[in-house]
Protein backbone atom coordinates (compact mmCIF):
# COMPACT_ATOMS: atom_id res chain seq x y z
CA UNK A 1 0.00 0.00 0.00
CA UNK A 2 3.04 2.28 0.22
CA UNK A 3 3.23 4.36 -2.96
CA UNK A 4 6.29 6.26 -4.19
CA UNK A 5 6.59 9.46 -6.18
CA UNK A 6 8.93 12.42 -6.55
CA UNK A 7 7.81 15.70 -5.05
CA UNK A 8 9.13 18.80 -3.32
CA UNK A 9 8.97 19.31 0.43
CA UNK A 10 9.41 22.78 1.86
CA UNK A 11 11.93 22.98 4.70
CA UNK A 12 11.90 26.19 6.76
CA UNK A 13 14.98 27.23 8.72
CA UNK A 14 14.72 29.86 11.45
CA UNK A 15 17.43 32.54 11.74
CA UNK A 16 18.66 30.91 14.98
CA UNK A 17 19.21 27.59 13.12
CA UNK A 18 21.39 29.02 10.34
CA UNK A 19 24.95 27.66 10.39
CA UNK A 20 27.84 27.62 7.93
CA UNK A 21 26.67 24.20 6.65
CA UNK A 22 22.90 23.94 6.19
CA UNK A 23 22.83 20.39 4.80
CA UNK A 24 22.73 18.65 8.24
CA UNK A 25 20.03 21.08 9.40
CA UNK A 26 17.90 20.34 6.32
CA UNK A 27 18.38 16.58 6.73
CA UNK A 28 17.34 16.72 10.39
CA UNK A 29 14.22 18.72 9.47
CA UNK A 30 13.37 16.17 6.78
CA UNK A 31 13.78 13.31 9.27
CA UNK A 32 11.16 14.99 11.49
CA UNK A 33 8.68 14.75 8.59
CA UNK A 34 9.00 10.94 8.41
CA UNK A 35 6.11 9.01 10.04
CA UNK A 36 3.92 12.13 10.07
CA UNK A 37 0.87 13.40 8.21
CA UNK A 38 1.49 16.09 5.59
CA UNK A 39 -1.52 18.43 5.32
CA UNK A 40 0.09 20.07 2.29
CA UNK A 41 0.10 16.81 0.28
CA UNK A 42 -2.72 15.02 2.19
CA UNK A 43 -0.87 11.79 2.90
CA UNK A 44 1.10 10.03 5.64
CA UNK A 45 4.84 10.07 4.89
CA UNK A 46 6.59 6.72 5.52
CA UNK A 47 9.99 7.31 3.90
CA UNK A 48 12.01 10.10 2.27
CA UNK A 49 14.68 9.01 -0.22
CA UNK A 50 16.86 10.48 -3.00
CA UNK A 51 17.07 13.92 -1.42
CA UNK A 52 18.32 16.75 -3.67
CA UNK A 53 18.93 20.02 -1.82
CA UNK A 54 18.94 23.13 -4.01
CA UNK A 55 21.95 25.44 -3.85
CA UNK A 56 19.80 28.46 -3.00
CA UNK A 57 16.72 28.94 -0.85
CA UNK A 58 14.38 31.87 -0.49
CA UNK A 59 13.59 34.12 2.45
CA UNK A 60 10.47 35.67 3.87
CA UNK A 61 10.77 39.41 4.38
CA UNK A 62 8.21 39.35 7.18
CA UNK A 63 9.96 36.93 9.53
CA UNK A 64 13.35 36.24 7.89
CA UNK A 65 12.75 32.49 7.63
CA UNK A 66 14.97 30.75 5.09
CA UNK A 67 13.11 28.08 3.09
CA UNK A 68 14.26 25.38 0.68
CA UNK A 69 12.08 23.37 -1.70
CA UNK A 70 13.84 20.01 -1.40
CA UNK A 71 13.25 17.53 -4.21
CA UNK A 72 12.91 13.95 -2.97
CA UNK A 73 11.18 10.61 -3.46
CA UNK A 74 8.39 10.07 -0.94
CA UNK A 75 7.05 6.74 0.22
CA UNK A 76 3.54 7.55 1.41
CA UNK A 77 0.25 6.05 2.55
CA UNK A 78 -2.96 7.55 1.26
CA UNK A 79 -5.94 5.23 1.60
CA UNK A 80 -8.49 5.49 -1.20
CA UNK A 81 -11.91 3.93 -1.71
CA UNK A 82 -11.61 0.16 -2.04
CA UNK A 83 -8.27 -0.23 -0.23
CA UNK A 84 -7.94 -2.95 2.39
CA UNK A 85 -6.47 -1.72 5.67
CA UNK A 86 -6.05 -3.12 9.17
CA UNK A 87 -6.64 -1.28 12.43
CA UNK A 88 -7.00 -1.82 16.17
CA UNK A 89 -10.40 -1.41 17.84
CA UNK A 90 -10.44 1.31 20.51
CA UNK A 91 -14.12 1.92 21.23
CA UNK A 92 -17.58 0.71 20.34
CA UNK A 93 -21.04 2.12 21.03
CA UNK A 94 -24.55 2.22 19.59
CA UNK A 95 -23.36 4.13 16.49
CA UNK A 96 -20.58 1.76 15.42
CA UNK A 97 -16.98 0.83 16.15
CA UNK A 98 -13.97 3.17 16.26
CA UNK A 99 -10.50 2.02 15.27
CA UNK A 100 -7.05 3.53 14.66
CA UNK A 101 -3.87 2.57 12.88
CA UNK A 102 -0.56 4.39 12.43
CA UNK A 103 -1.94 6.91 9.94
CA UNK A 104 -5.75 7.15 10.22
CA UNK A 105 -8.77 7.29 12.50
CA UNK A 106 -11.46 4.88 11.32
CA UNK A 107 -15.19 4.60 11.90
CA UNK A 108 -17.27 1.57 10.94
CA UNK A 109 -20.96 2.53 11.19
CA UNK A 110 -23.47 -0.10 12.34
CA UNK A 111 -24.86 -0.23 8.79
CA UNK A 112 -21.51 -1.65 7.55
CA UNK A 113 -21.48 -4.82 9.70
CA UNK A 114 -23.97 -7.34 11.04
CA UNK A 115 -25.17 -7.48 14.64
CA UNK A 116 -23.91 -11.08 14.97
CA UNK A 117 -20.28 -10.01 14.61
CA UNK A 118 -18.33 -9.89 17.87
CA UNK A 119 -15.77 -7.14 18.37
CA UNK A 120 -13.28 -6.92 21.23
CA UNK A 121 -11.34 -3.80 22.19
CA UNK A 122 -7.62 -4.15 21.48
CA UNK A 123 -8.01 -6.67 18.63
CA UNK A 124 -6.90 -5.93 15.07
CA UNK A 125 -9.47 -6.11 12.24
CA UNK A 126 -9.25 -6.01 8.44
CA UNK A 127 -11.38 -3.34 6.82
CA UNK A 128 -12.33 -2.00 3.37
CA UNK A 129 -12.29 1.78 2.84
CA UNK A 130 -15.69 3.20 1.85
CA UNK A 131 -14.91 6.93 2.19
CA UNK A 132 -11.80 8.94 3.05
CA UNK A 133 -11.44 12.51 4.32
CA UNK A 134 -8.20 14.45 4.49
CA UNK A 135 -7.99 17.43 6.84
CA UNK A 136 -5.33 19.31 8.81
CA UNK A 137 -5.56 16.86 11.73
CA UNK A 138 -4.92 13.76 9.63
CA UNK A 139 -6.77 11.10 7.70
CA UNK A 140 -10.26 9.88 8.64
CA UNK A 141 -11.88 6.87 7.02
CA UNK A 142 -15.32 5.30 6.95
CA UNK A 143 -14.91 1.58 6.41
CA UNK A 144 -16.73 -1.72 6.24
CA UNK A 145 -15.57 -4.96 7.87
CA UNK A 146 -14.10 -7.61 5.54
At 34-55, the pLDDT tens digits run: 999 998 889 999 999 999 999 9
Domain extent at residue 99: 84-145
pLDDT, residue 137, reads 86
pLDDT, residue 31, reads 95
Number of domains in the chain: 2
How far, CA to CA in Å, does 109 sit from each of 99, 133, 145?
Answer: 11, 15, 10
pLDDT, residue 77, reads 93
- Pair 90, 112 in one domain: yes
CATH number of the domain enclosing 9: 3.30.1490
pLDDT band at 66 (very low <50, low <70, confident <90, very high): very high
pLDDT, residue 33, reads 94
- Pair 88, 140 in one domain: yes
pLDDT, residue 116, reads 85
**For residue 76, how many other CB atoms are within 10 A of its CB?**
21
DSSP at 116: T
Given a contact cutoff of 8 angstroms between Cβ atoms, the answer to whether 75 and 105 are in contact is: no
- Pair 46, 70 in one domain: yes
The last residue of one of the domains, among 55, 77, 99, is: 77
The last residue of one of the domains, among 20, 48, 77, is: 77
> Helix, strand, or coil here: 2?
coil
The last residue of one of the domains, among 27, 60, 77, is: 77
Amino acid sequence: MVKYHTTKLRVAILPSEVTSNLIPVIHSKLNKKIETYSPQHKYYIKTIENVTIPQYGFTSRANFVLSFDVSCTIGHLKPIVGDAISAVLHNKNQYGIFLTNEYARIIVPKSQYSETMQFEIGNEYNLRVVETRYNTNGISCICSVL
